[in-house]
Amino acid sequence: MRIWDIPPKNLCRKYLIAKHGELHSMWSIIINGKKGFSRHPETMRWRGKPKVLYTRHEKLVAEMERRRFNHNSPIDKKTANGDGIQNIYIDKANKQKEILKSKPCEYYE
């Protein structure tokens, strides 16, 4: 599970859709106290940051809509509280770009 910190416009179709689904999983873990992946390093970095996670969701949705994908899974903004800045990274954005470029999915500059 991973929530990329790079602009959604850089993600190929496969990763854009996958990361949107993973974000919903992350949201459920953090907001609803679900156990799956609750101790995963990626989950830990989003604890206390529903506000910025919500913002990330909205950016993914905007890109999905720009590409004319359907989106039917909104997140309740009322639960998006906490810190509005993500300053904890497993890999910085440049490293994330390198990782994505090495995968079998086109990375868009």
pLDDT at residue number 24: 97
pLDDT, one tens digit per residue, over 10-43 is 999 999 999 999 999 999 999 999 988 999 999 9
Find the radius of gyration of the CA atoms of the chain. Answer: 13
- Rounding to the nearest 10 degrees, give the CA dihedral for residues 59, 108, 22, 86: -60
DSSP class of 106: P
pLDDT at residue number 108: 82
Cα 13 to Cα 15: distance, rounded to the nearest angstrom: 6
Residue type at position 93: A
Only one residue has tokens 């989003």, namely: 46
Cα 92 to Cα 95: distance, rounded to the nearest angstrom: 5
pLDDT, one tens digit per residue, over 70-103 is 999 999 999 999 988 999 999 999 999 999 999 9
- Predicted TM-score (pTM) of the model is 0.92
pLDDT at residue number 109: 75
